[in-house]
Amino acid sequence: MNHPFAAPFLLHGGDYNPEQWLDAPEILEKDLEYFEKTGINTVTLGIFSWAALEPEEGCFQMQWLEDVIRRVWDRGIHVILATPSGARPKWLADRYPEVLRTDASRRRALFGGRHNHCYTSPIYREKVRRIDQELARRFGSHPAVLLWHVSNEYGGECHCPLCQERFRGWLKERYGTIERLNHQWNTAFWSHTYQDFSQVESPSPLGEHALHGLNLDWKRFVTHCTADFLDWEVKALRESGSRLPVTANFMYDYTGLNYGKFRSSLDVVSWDNYPTWHKGPEADTAADCGFQHDRMRSLLGRPFLLMESSPSSTNWQPVSKLRKPGILELASLQAVAHGSDSVLYFQLRQSRGASEKFHGAVIDHYGGPDTRILKETAQVGQALSRLREVAGSSVPKQTAILWDMESRWAMEDAQGPRNQGLPHKETAMGMYRALRSLGLSVDILDMEDSLEGYRLIAAPMQYLFREGIQQKLEAFVREGGILVMTFWSGVVDENDLCFLGPTPGGLTDVLGLRFCEIDGLYDWESNRMVPVSPAGEEPGGVSFARSYRCSQLCERILPSSARTVMTYGEDFYAGEPVLTCNAWGKGQAWYLAAAAEPDFYRDFFTQLAAPLFPERPVSDLPEGVEACLRENDAYQYLFLQNFRREPAAVSLSRAGSDPETEWTCVFGSFHGVLDGWSTAVLRRKRRPS
């Protein structure tokens, strides 16, 4: 982070593609009028504009962009400027076929689509560098421009000969000798031993895909290549003198890249959120979005940007459902509540033709001022302007969930105890929703993150232990932290080789137990978790008044020093431990051996976490209500949001209340009750520390 981004206000606006309307100046004029009406203060330009900016090789035409920037800036509207590398012009593909991507079956693509170029191709790199430099020279210190939006949703992978060569070089650097690679990938299996790096090929459905070490390294390599391409673009911008901060927009739960590896290149994280509202209960959708927002915020531990969202529906999901009135504001403010300094849409004006012509947009084909969406976006605009002072405020560190992409890659690739689906997300979400229902903020971390400053960390199904994570977790517990680790953790090492000896590898002392066996359950099967500790002897102060259902995966574990809190109720392992607690240093290490029903997480974390955070302003939220805290030096902001249609009662804790630091409502309305689908924001002065 070299050029930190500080949003001067909450950004409101989104992707704008005037290049599709250059022959219709009256439309562009109308847009400006609507921007003003809807409180749009930021437009993102240039994302897919390469063909308009460089219609022929080396011949740049940037005047139209300059005109648009000037015209929006005349009205005080800021610009996020994209580099156009997300889609390439036809001349480039025709003249230099090496820029076209090759898929895992070794087929080279024809021209078309987007996000489909080879990141290794020296020609692609050179052409991108040229146009990025041109843009940077021309606009890189323009007062309207706030930020670089580098490319668009980096993703995918290329298996062309150039990428194969580069992969081999990367492996050579990683392993040094082919013997070492053979050992780490366990290639003796099925006689897949390599004699030389030159023989290695990327995984393919037509060839090698059984070596998990290869698959994992390929994914790491794809991330490396892509992050390196981002760096290449950033370098081009910097070389041309631009000091503007940089972002790259990320995608929802995207598993093609390890976003954690991008953070050193970015000044601010941004992402694109397209939830399927009304497909299920809104509270579920909200929890899912909340998790993603929190992951994005945690990447840099600073405010992020919501770069794209639909003002109404999408047109690429199986069903394009309209958002019912009120959801736009609720969903938009949810992003802000979780730490976003923006609400940006895709897109401001709907395309007239091609594949996104029916995607929701602020201004639609009808083009008149009297549309529901214009009204609702204007409302969001007003809300963001009232909440302007929230920009830049941070979210306090309280609890965290480990959610590591490399571990997930390896776990999902492994053929193991349940190939018809692992309860990874359910377990993490069960924990997440439990912590959130207690009014706590949750950071979503990976194994590279520092664990300092948290009081409770949950580690659901951390199958692969990356180098050093055991030491960090041990220190965390020793210093007084509470760790909750689950089944199917610490099974393999950094290279996807199974730990030999007792597991979770390297943590058996801290957890006070070892893993014995894991039972995969059919969908129709379940077991029970039965409380056992006699009253007055509850380890960690935790006790349960009932049993809970568990399913999918049940581990048999053998405690050494850990104390058993619950046991299995059924099957041949009935009576064996399923929940244990081990005292370690000043802290506690808990182990949950099976995938539990959601109520369990709520009852468990209520007992575990509640005493750790007596100062939190709300402590027990009804289902579907979220509370989020943001703070700056002067104030704390409490966002209360009700994702249910019915009103909900919320009580604020009185702990340490004094008139100087009373909550006052600065947005929406709140008198102990929140209306259905509504947001209230309360503010209080911070106590001098």
Q: Tell me if 309 contacts ligand GAL by CB under 6 A.
A: no
Coil, helix or strand for 483?
Answer: strand
Which of Zn ion, ligand GAL, none does residue 521 bind (CB under 5 to 8 Å by kind)? none
Which of ligand GAL, Zn ion, none does residue 342 bind (CB under 5 to 8 Å by kind)? none
Token duo for residue 187: 């290639």
Among 5, 345, 346, 591, binds ligand GAL (CB under 6 A): 346
Contacts 24+ apart (CB under 8 A), 246-250: 246/3, 246/147, 246/148, 246/150, 247/5, 247/147, 247/148, 247/149, 247/150, 247/305, 247/307, 248/149, 248/150, 248/151, 248/154, 249/149, 249/152, 249/153, 249/307, 249/308, 250/153, 250/296
End-to-end Cα distance, the chain = 28
Residue 471, φ and ψ in degrees, nearest 5: -65, -40
Which of Zn ion, ligand GAL, none does residue 314 bind (CB under 5 to 8 Å by kind)? ligand GAL
Q: What CA–CA distance (Å, rounded) separates 87 from 81?
A: 15
Which of Zn ion, ligand GAL, none does residue 274 bind (CB under 5 to 8 Å by kind)? ligand GAL
Measured from the CB atom, is 250 or 677 closer to ligand GAL? Answer: 250
Token duo for residue 313: 């529906």
Measured from the CB atom, is 199 or 317 closer to ligand GAL? Answer: 317
Coil, helix or strand for 626?
Answer: strand
* CA 432 to the chain's CA centroid: 14
Q: What CA–CA distance (Å, rounded) separates 639 from 641?
A: 6
Least distance (Å) between residue 93 CB and ligand GAL:
19
Query: Interface residues for ligand GAL in 139-158 (CB under 6 A)?
Result: 152-153
Coil, helix or strand for 420?
Answer: coil
Query: Interface residues for ligand GAL in 311-330 (CB under 6 A)?
Result: 314
Instruction: With beta carbons less than 8 A apart as the criterion, state whether 578 and 566 touch.
Output: yes
Query: Interface residues for ligand GAL in 627-646 (CB under 6 A)?
Result: none
Least distance (Å) between residue 163 CB and Zn ion:
3
Contacts of 483 (CB under 8 A, 6+ apart): 456, 457, 458, 459, 473, 476, 477, 510, 587, 588, 589, 590
Query: Interface residues for ligand GAL in 52-81 (CB under 6 A)?
Result: none
Which of ligand GAL, Zn ion, none does residue 448 bind (CB under 5 to 8 Å by kind)? none
Q: What is the DSSP letter of 585?
A: T
Least distance (Å) between residue 160 CB and Zn ion:
3
Instruction: With beta carbons less than 8 A apart as the criterion, state whether 476 and 457 touch.
Output: yes
Which of ligand GAL, Zn ion, none does residue 78 bind (CB under 5 to 8 Å by kind)? none
Residues tagged active-site: 153, 308
Contacts of 301 (CB under 8 A, 6+ apart): 394, 397, 443
Which of ligand GAL, Zn ion, none does residue 359 bind (CB under 5 to 8 Å by kind)? ligand GAL
Measured from the CB atom, is 346 or 548 closer to ligand GAL? Answer: 346
Measured from the CB atom, is 159 or 359 closer to ligand GAL? Answer: 359
Least distance (Å) between residue 356 CB and ligand GAL:
6
Least distance (Å) between residue 406 CB and ligand GAL:
24
Least distance (Å) between residue 191 CB and ligand GAL:
43
Measured from the CB atom, is 363 or 629 closer to ligand GAL? Answer: 363
Contacts of 655 (CB under 8 A, 6+ apart): 614, 615
Which of ligand GAL, Zn ion, none does residue 313 bind (CB under 5 to 8 Å by kind)? none
Measured from the CB atom, is 20 or 495 closer to ligand GAL? Answer: 20
Which of ligand GAL, Zn ion, none does residue 678 bind (CB under 5 to 8 Å by kind)? none
Return residues touching Zn ion (CB under 5 A). Answer: 118, 120, 158, 160, 162-163
Say what angle helices 161-175 and 212-239 make with each other, to 10 degrees: 100
Measured from the CB atom, is 351 or 632 closer to ligand GAL? Answer: 351
Token duo for residue 445: 């971390």
Measured from the CB atom, is 272 or 555 closer to ligand GAL? Answer: 272
Q: DSSP letters along 485-552, please?
A: EESS-S-B-TTSPBPPSSSSTTTHHHHTEEEEEEEE--TT--EEEEE-PPTT--GGG---SS-EEEEE
| Nearest CA-CA partner of 62 in 113, 112, 127, 132 | 132
Measured from the CB atom, is 270 or 678 closer to ligand GAL? Answer: 270
Which of ligand GAL, Zn ion, none does residue 160 bind (CB under 5 to 8 Å by kind)? Zn ion
Measured from the CB atom, is 123 or 666 closer to Zn ion? Answer: 123
Least distance (Å) between residue 285 CB and ligand GAL:
16
Among 154, 218, 221, 274, binds ligand GAL (CB under 6 A): 274
Among 117, 166, 359, 616, binds ligand GAL (CB under 6 A): 359
Least distance (Å) between residue 227 CB and ligand GAL:
18
Instruction: Calculate the alpha carbon distances from 332 to 162, 338, 679 in Å.
Output: 43, 10, 10
Asked whether the CA dihedral 486, 488, 492, 494 is positive or negative, the reply is negative
Token duo for residue 307: 């770069």
Query: Interface residues for ligand GAL in 445-484 (CB under 6 A)?
Result: none
Q: DSSP letters along 211-278, please?
A: -HHHHHHHHHHHHHHHHHHHHHHHHHHHHTT----EE-EEETT--SS-GGGGGGG-SS-EEEE---TT
Least distance (Å) between residue 151 CB and Zn ion:
16
| Nearest CA-CA partner of 641 in 246, 280, 327, 312 | 327
Measured from the CB atom, is 162 or 257 closer to Zn ion? Answer: 162
Q: DSSP letters along 272-295, please?
A: EE---TTSS-HHHHHHHHHHHHHH
Least distance (Å) between residue 363 CB and ligand GAL:
16
Least distance (Å) between residue 251 CB and ligand GAL:
6
Count residues contacting ligand GAL (CB under 6 A)? 9
Q: Tell me if 308 contacts ligand GAL by CB under 6 A.
A: yes
Q: Tell me if 19 contacts ligand GAL by CB under 6 A.
A: no
Which of Zn ion, ligand GAL, none does residue 158 bind (CB under 5 to 8 Å by kind)? Zn ion
| Nearest CA-CA partner of 616 in 654, 665, 663, 672 | 654
Q: Which residues in this chain contact ligand GAL in the complex, by CB under 6 A?
A: 152-153, 272, 274, 308, 314, 346, 356, 359
